[in-house]
Structure 1
Amino acid sequence: MPAPWYARVATTAGRPAVLAATLIMSMPGEYHVAKLAGWSDPWAYGMPFSLSAYAGIAAVVAATRPKGARGRASATVGAAFAIVLALAAQVVAHLAATGHMDADQAWLIAVTSMVPPAVLAHLLHLAATPDDGTSPSTSVDTEETTPLVERVEQEQQPAPAIPPQPSQPPAPQLPPVPQPVQPPAPIVYRDPRCAAIRPLYNGGTRPGTAAMRDALLAAGHGRVGDSTIRGVLRAEVEEHEPTLADYTPAIGSARAS
């Protein structure tokens, strides 16, 4: 089950708050120890910053570098040493402030004076040994210690090279298959007598009234008036096919049409 929202908020916001509070609470004791060792202002303020930065850098390096990486063991020792220094600074400062300890002692002043150069030397050592992402090897494979499977793979001969195959000519391109042409849909006239007149246009000329009358008689439609032939039947034929109206009138039918 996930933690309640207030627990997650307290954990997320609490860690930086606790870090800030502990740094602020530790600064007076570390500053006081620096003053007891003989540093004057503003140089005494450097002691809290050097110890805090040193502890943080060493802890991060020790936590992020993988096991066996270069500098990890040294960073781990440095992180522990920084914690011991911070604890000792707080204890000495409070003992001296409450009168339980005489701060004017040569060994205490000497140890405190060595803290900044020791911190600087160790930080330079960590910077000079960056993590290369590899772990040192502790053994060397020999013929006796190498697994049998690896030795068999090493003794296998390489496969013979396969000669290059001659390039194949490109496949011949087949001509495209012609698609069947769909015939146009037949024209359905409103007046079926138009079907007897339409073939007269096949000669490339526009038929006259007499030729259309004869075609209607031959088709069995009887005698049809000239106005009906021209105004109804021929008009419907040319309505469906407007290009027929542009044909040249047939010879001998120009006056009749």
Structure 2
Amino acid sequence: MKSMILVVEDDKAVRNLITTTLETQGYAFVTAEKGSDAISAAVSYRPDVMILDLGLPDIDGVEIIKKVRSWSNNPIIVVSARSEDRDKIDALDAGADDYLTKPFSVEELLARIRVALRKMNYDNSPVKNSPVFVNGSLKIDYSAGCVYVDGREIHLTPIEYKLLCLLARNVGKVLTHNYILREVWVNALESDTPSLRVFMATLRKKIEKNPSRPEYIQTHVGVGYRMIRLQTEEESASEKDE
């Protein structure tokens, strides 16, 4: 069954570029030019992924994210000309999973869609609630509170462990600095972001083979962090066969 993508974009040229790209890749899609139509389409079609522009003529995209998030957890990828960190943070804090700034390459958009679909499949699978999380050579045994890389146990501080578990439980999703601070330190302030960067750096040194070129934890400068969902050999083979 084809994955269904909802494209919310009022610029005809950009909308046609996205839909043509989706069509050539075999995705099913539906489009909306206004926010009100986007909400109706999200209810009617229950798309697997929403691609959303923020600057719509009737409703701001951030409000659409909030409304959709009241009933759906399926991935939302923002594609917007708004490039300021505050715009990205507002969209991600509202519930968007990813943020792509215009102009963008279709190859990158397709890659973000594939990541979003893998995240959705993971969220809907029994693995999501498994006592063990496996991603590439990284393994988290939640019940034992242990972390392994390449089968070797890695000793983390309590804060590092909480950070890693938070990213793992939201694999594929960009988490803003403020969100992470609230979840890990509860009463943390935005001014505590430098401390978060220090803890993230020490965590990377322990789990990444090359911390300067991390494969697990991706930095979104000025915004936050995301754990990348690494493909298994079976998933790579499946994509090649499609």
Same structural fold, with TM-score higher than 0.5 when normalized by the shorter chain:
no
TM-score bracket for the superposition, by shorter chain length: under 0.3
Higher helix share: 1
Query: So what's the TM-score if we normalise by structure 2?
Result: 0.24
Larger strand proportion, structure 1 or 2? 2
With normalisation by structure 1, the TM-score equals 0.23
Q: Which has the higher contact order (CA 8 A, sep 6+)?
A: 1
